[in-house]
Amino acid sequence: MSDQTNQAPLLEVKHLRKLFPAKSGFLAKEKTYIKAVDDVSFTLMPKETLGVVGESGCGKSTMGRSVLRLIEPTEGEILYKGEDFRQAGGQQLRKMRSDMQIIFQDPYASLNPRMTVGEIIAEPLNIQKRCGSKEEVREQVLKVMEVVGLNPKYYNRYPHEFSGGQRQRIGIARAIVLQPSLVVCDEPVSALDVSIQSQVLNLLRKLQESMGMAYIFISHNLSVIKHISDRVMVMYLGHVVEMADKKELFDNASHPYTQALLSAIPVPERHSRRKKIILQGDLPSPANPPSGCIFHTRCFMAQEICSKQKPELKEIADGHLCACHFCGLNKGE
């Protein structure tokens, strides 16, 4: 990450909410909603990587897609380069969208099997009318293929002819061909073999250094998040429960949920004196979240106050936010 002193944020997300109507029985009197993302706020600086971590179903992917308006948020404000993204329409929306891209989790499902590699990577250029001729489009596509490590001779091949890692390189090429300032990476390596994961992560880092993009990097894997992030945001049941610089978070995790996640990172037996924290029970339903602290039904530190009073997300050290009544008191081992 470059020196960001005095820089304006690239992205400011304020009180973002995304509710989905829940299916209710015919006897249900009131409509219920699944609170997939509930009051999420954060900023992202240019060239920064914000890692977003949490269990499946915590709302991290919905949050990433809502920020890009791939699914329309229910409430909240999204400022991109100082402009109101939620109010943007027509030409302005088109222009802003071209600067904000996404890499999807599943390289098998996210590429159109009927299109060649060249056509897939060229699609954003054609939609945005970036090039004056077909030759120029081809030239741009071949250049990007080289940048992501795809042999240009694959230009006319189809996605099914490639391995998972190569398909993800095609997805990355499609995301960066318009030279965006922001890329949401939605679990981009979790469908890949472990041996390929580090290649793709290193490619993403290299591209960030050369092109200066900011990433929102979503993953359930804290080792991956540690490898790639500058700052980390921990989500639980649609809420942010802790956020800090990577080093601060990994050294001084304060929220019991973050401590439990960290304790589950595999480490060699001989190097570990760390006690594993096993969370009891499943993630509660986001249609009917627990009262008070949303984590109290599974928290190993819960006290009487926890089921009654919701803890605020408050700053406990410089840039370190935590939503727990006992933040700062409950240091991880």
Residues 145/157, Cβ–Cβ less than 8 Å: no
Task: Write a three-state SS string for 20-51.
Answer: EECCCCCCCCCCCEEEEEEEEEEEECCCCEEE
Which listed range, 83-91, 197-205, 267-275, 293-301, lies at the site for ligand SF4 (CB under 6 A)?
Answer: 293-301
152 or 328: CB nearest ligand SF4: 328
List for the chain the helix, strand, coil content (%; round to 5): 30, 20, 45
Question: 177: left (phi > 0), else alpha (psi -120 to 50), else beta?
Answer: alpha
CB of 21 to ligand SF4, least distance (A): 28
Q: Which of 102, 175, 299, 313 contacts ligand SF4 by CB under 6 A?
A: 299
Residues 242/314, Cβ–Cβ less than 8 Å: no
Q: Which of 22, 211, 287, 301 contacts ligand SF4 by CB under 6 A?
A: 301
CB of 280 to ligand SF4, least distance (A): 12
Q: Which of 293, 313, 316, 321 contacts ligand SF4 by CB under 6 A?
A: 293
Residues 200/243, Cβ–Cβ less than 8 Å: no
289 or 311: CB nearest ligand SF4: 311
CB of 19 to ligand SF4, least distance (A): 23
Which listed range, 24-32, 77-85, 90-98, 298-306, lies at the site for ligand SF4 (CB under 6 A)?
Answer: 298-306
Residues 231/48, Cβ–Cβ less than 8 Å: yes
Which listed range, 66-74, 100-108, 272-280, 300-308, lies at the site for ligand SF4 (CB under 6 A)?
Answer: 300-308
CB of 234 to ligand SF4, least distance (A): 11
Q: CB-based contacts of 256: which residues, under 8 Å, 6+ apart?
A: 277, 295, 299, 300, 301, 324, 330
79 or 302: CB nearest ligand SF4: 302
Write the CA distances from 275 to 53, 171, 272, 280, 327, integer angstroms: 21, 39, 8, 15, 20
The count of residues interacting with ligand SF4 (CB under 6 A) is 13
Q: Which of 68, 140, 295, 313 contacts ligand SF4 by CB under 6 A?
A: 295
79 or 301: CB nearest ligand SF4: 301
Q: Is residue 256 a contact residue for ligand SF4 (CB under 6 A)?
A: yes
Q: Which of 9, 59, 238, 311 contacts ligand SF4 by CB under 6 A?
A: 311
Q: Which of 306, 313, 316, 321 contacts ligand SF4 by CB under 6 A?
A: 306
Residue 185's SS3 state is: strand
Q: Which of 93, 211, 302, 317 contacts ligand SF4 by CB under 6 A?
A: 302
What is the rounded distance in angstroms from the CA atom of residue 108 to the CA atom of residue 163?
Answer: 9
Residue 304: count of CB within 10 angstroms of its CB: 9
Which listed range, 106-114, 149-157, 206-214, 318-326, lies at the site for ligand SF4 (CB under 6 A)?
Answer: 318-326
Q: Which of 208, 216, 325, 332 contacts ligand SF4 by CB under 6 A?
A: 325
What is the rounded distance in angstroms from the CA atom of residue 31 to the CA atom of residue 170?
Answer: 42
Q: Is 149 exposed, middle or buried (0-12, 13-18, 19+ CB in 10 A)?
A: middle
E runs forming strands in 7-139: 11-21, 33-44, 49-53, 75-80, 83-84, 100-103
Task: Note the residues at the interface with ligand SF4 (CB under 6 A).
Answer: 255-256, 293, 295-296, 299, 301-302, 306, 311, 324-326
